Structure 1
Amino acid sequence: MLNKIFIFLLMCLGLIPSISIANPDVWLLVDTEKLSMEIKKGDKTVAVLNNIAIGRNGAGEKNHRGDDVTPLGNFRIGWINESSNFRKFYGLTYPNVEHADNALKKGKINLDTYESIARAQSSGQIPPQDTNLGGQIGIHGLGSANLSIHKSMNWTHGCIALTNDQIDQLSQWVEKGTLVTVK
């Protein structure tokens, strides 16, 4: 309990970056079968972004770094890079405890890694991005990438890609802490 209070105080003082609590009514629903993203406000859909791209190997359980699979689950936007090579990058809080639990049971990560991911999630921090499960999963634009490739195939290493126009549209709705459900 004292550790949580100490961490909270350090976050309040700005000594530890935390994932802010975004508008709880706004959230994203990513449908990896329809290749669409709904921007939701409560139960109401306020915008739909179609023809998104996901990992080269589809969506599902991410087994290891470099498997080109987009992970399923509930995440938060943990960080924002406004000057990404992909125009903008909204980093997801992947891996989460559910992914870590599965990986620990299958021997893909050790207990220390699991506990590190669990601590990050419980304290509102970004989970370690350098585990065997991978990291740096997010939502991004194309930057200078080829639009025709984006329209014709899933091409990412596990991220969710939008066109540059779509990522600009998305930026008016999301902030650090926004919930993202990938199904």
Structure 2
Amino acid sequence: MEWKVYMHNQALLSSVLSLLFFSILPFSASANGIWVDVNTTEHTLTVMQGDKVEHIFENIAIGRFGTTWHKITKDDKTPLGDFRIGWINEQSRYYRFFGLDYPNRETAQRAFEDNRITEETWLTILKATNQEKTPPQNTILGGFIGIHGIGRGDPEIHDQFHWTNGCIALTNKQIDQLGKWLKPGVMVKIR
């Protein structure tokens, strides 16, 4: 029995090492140094170019139940951490949707260490992120987290409440302005 456990641990270590080796390869970065800082306390989204402020968007909305380092599906909390724009949906019911690479490597690592996801789920997320693909969006950690507009929603609700299921929301006009900076690969820091 000990031999089987040893062999399983060796196989797992080998898989993890190969995934980590590929994780040191650079992720597609924004060529112009653009990145986004989302301050969930001040309710602002700041577009940065290096350490220079390009534009500040105020009165953003976040998840209706705040933020968390340990997001799970349907908790209506915005995940904290460093993410990248993974895809753009121009036909979203929320006007325009800039999808994040959530759950990312760090999120999956925390969840695996806390026994909130299985080894198989953890390895699947690692494999996707190492290949610069969208991670699975249907795990216990949730998915389809992004930056979006309000679509046909009520602007007064947006002005008064945090209303999303975990995303960052701006007005449709703000999303139009923000769109000129957001491309796949742009870093989004949510704090």
Q: Same fold per TM (> 0.5)?
A: yes
* Cα distance between partner residues in 1 of 2:173 and 2:153: 13
The aligned amino acid for 2:81 is G
The aligned amino acid for 1:62 is H
Aligned to 1:11: none
Q: In the TM superposition, what whole-angstrom CA distance separates every residue of 1:81-100 from its partner, at most 9, and x where no partner exists?
A: 01111110000000111111
* Cα distance between partner residues in 2 of 1:98 and 1:92: 14
Structure 1 unmatched runs, 5+: 5-18
- Structure 2 residue 105 is the aligned partner of structure 1 residue 97: yes
Please report the TM-score for the alignment, with normalisation by the length of structure 1.
0.87
Is contact 1:72-1:182 (8 Å) kept?
Answer: yes
Residue of 50, 54, 64 corresponding to 2:58: 50
Structure 2 unmatched runs, 5+: 1-17, 20-26
Helix, strand or coil at the partner of 1:84:
coil
The aligned amino acid for 1:117 is I
Which entry has the higher C-alpha Rg, 1 or 2?
Answer: 2
Report how many residues are paired.
Answer: 168
Q: In the TM superposition, what whole-angstrom CA distance separates every residue of 1:104-163 from its partner, at most 9, and x where no partner exists?
A: 122211001101111111121111111000000000001100000000010000000000
The aligned amino acid for 1:60 is T
Moved more, 97-106 or 130-139: 97-106
Aligned to 1:145: 153
Residue of 45, 51, 70 corresponding to 1:62: 70
Specify whether residues 62 and 156 from structure 1 end up closer, same or farther in structure 2 by C-alpha distance, changes over 3 A only.
farther
* Cα distance between partner residues in 2 of 1:43 and 1:118: 30
Higher helix content, 1 or 2: 2
Residue of 135, 139, 145 corresponding to 1:131: 139
The aligned amino acid for 2:135 is P
Residue of 92, 102, 109 corresponding to 1:84: 92
